[in-house]
């Protein structure tokens, strides 16, 4: 269990949303500036070093009552602080984005984070949302600037070497977003085409591995990719189907290619590698959400209208450690 640390400034594009129930006021999310140089893309990923990246720690059962976290645990530290600090996206429509009318950050991922806060405090408003880029997800966990990251993060063996994950809470898949009428039909038609994905993401790694003849273009986030796409500076965007569905909803001339996804992207809640007790606690919360229908309600609210019925909450794999 790591010692508590003060919240640090993450990047210039980072903003902070503090729950109004805790007496805090939100700050604006700065507009992300895309990077157009393909040289910013990461190198190809190393081979996996584990058998199953979705395997997590056994869930804590029974869960302690809200407000009564056991002494000496990471949850007790969070309880004593008075709020759960969570790294999130504020520009990923459907998953985590700022509502322009209310100023609140909302979406499927945010509902997952609020469920953890409710389990600790008995109040989902006892939460502090820190807006981060995809590249920030692991650094802010390692530094202790946030307690958890809930930002559509794919569970991979290489990431397990740096952080810990909850059980899988959503299964996505990578696809391509193109302009209506484009002659791009899939991975095999990307030779010499400029394709955008956020830096330091599995989406970029998969693009480089599965379409080596494409020209990868990095950006700080998918919103930056959408800007480049709308300017005509890239021919396509690649990412999880959940993210691309949100982008397509914002651009009437963009479509997500139909057909099966070319990867599987299991999402896990990221946690500092030392805080395995918090991982077990979160897994207990996810089990509760399965039993009481809260996970399904969140899916139906945010994702079902765009992605359809889906296959339900993923079956967890436990036994790590």
Report phi then psi at 96, rounded to 5: -160, 100
3-state secondary structure of 164: strand
Report d(CA 67, CA 75) in Å as an integer.
10
| Domain range summary for the chain, segments of one domain joined by + | 16-32+55-171+266-307, 173-256
What is the number of residues in the chain?
321
Cα separation values, 196 from 41, 162, 201, 216, Å: 10, 26, 11, 6
Rounded distance between C-alpha atoms, residue 194 and residue 151, angstroms: 25
What does the alpha-carbon distance between residue 91 and residue 285 come to, in Å, rounded to a whole number?
26
224, 157 Cβ separation under 8 angstroms? no
Per residue in 60-90, pLDDT (tens digit) is 999 999 999 999 999 999 999 999 999 999 9
Q: Which fold has domain 16-32+55-171+266-307?
A: D-Maltodextrin-Binding Protein; domain 2 (3.40.190)
pLDDT at position 243: 93
pLDDT over 80 at 248, yes or no: yes
pLDDT one-digit tens code per residue, 89-100: 998 999 999 999
In tens, the pLDDT along 166-214 reads 999 999 999 999 999 999 999 999 999 999 999 988 899 999 999 999 9
Q: Is the per-residue pLDDT at 41 higher than 60?
A: no
What are the angstrom distances between the C-alpha of 205 and each of 38, 92, 210, 217, 279? 13, 20, 9, 12, 26
Q: Give me the pLDDT at residue 1, please.
A: 54
CATH of range 173-256; options 3.50.50.60, 3.20.20.70, 3.40.50.150, 3.40.190.10:
3.40.190.10
Tell me the mean pLDDT in the region 19-36.
34
What mean pLDDT value characterizes the chain?
A: 87
Distance from C-alpha of 92 to C-alpha of 222, rounded to nearest angstrom: 8
Query: Does the fold of domain 173-256 match that of domain 16-32+55-171+266-307?
Result: yes
Distance, CA of 53 to CA of 165 (rounded, Å): 9
């Amino acid at each position: 269990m790591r010692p508590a640390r003060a919240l640090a400034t993450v990047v210039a594009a980072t903003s902070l949303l503090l729950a109004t129930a805790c007496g805090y006021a939100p700050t604006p999310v700065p507009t992300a500036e895309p990077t157009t140089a393909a040289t910013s893309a990461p190198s190809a990923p190393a081979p996996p070093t584990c058998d199953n990246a979705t395997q997590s720690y056994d869930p804590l059962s029974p869960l302690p009552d809200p407000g009564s976290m056991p002494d000496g645990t990471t949850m007790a530290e969070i309880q004593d602080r008075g709020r759960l600090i969570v790294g999130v996206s504020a520009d990923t429509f459907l998953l985590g984005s700022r509502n322009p009318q209310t100023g609140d950050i909302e979406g499927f991922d945010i509902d997952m984070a609020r469920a953890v806060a409710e389990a600790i405090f008995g109040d989902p408003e006892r939460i502090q949302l820190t807006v981060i880029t995809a590249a920030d997800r692991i650094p802010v966990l390692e530094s202790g600037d946030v307690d958890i990251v809930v930002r559509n993060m794919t569970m991979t063996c290489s990431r397990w070497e740096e952080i810990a994950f909850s059980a899988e809470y959503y299964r996505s898949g990578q696809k391509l977003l193109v302009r209506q009428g484009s002659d791009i039909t899939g991975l095999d038609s990307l030779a010499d085409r400029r394709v955008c994905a956020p830096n330091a993401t599995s989406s970029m790694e998969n693009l480089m591995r599965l379409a080596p003849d494409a020209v990868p273009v990095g950006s700080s986030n998918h919103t930056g990719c959408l800007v480049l796409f709308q300017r005509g500076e890239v021919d396509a965007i690649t990412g999880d189907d959940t993210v691309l569905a949100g982008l397509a909803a914002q651009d009437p001339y963009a479509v997500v290619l139909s057909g099966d996804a070319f990867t599987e992207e299991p999402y896990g809640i990221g946690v500092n590698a030392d805080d395995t007790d918090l991982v077990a606690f979160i897994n207990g919360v996810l089990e509760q959400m399965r039993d009481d229908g809260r996970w399904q309600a969140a899916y139906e609210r945010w994702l079902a209208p765009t992605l359809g019925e889906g296959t339900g909450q993923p079956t967890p794999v436990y036994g790590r450690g």
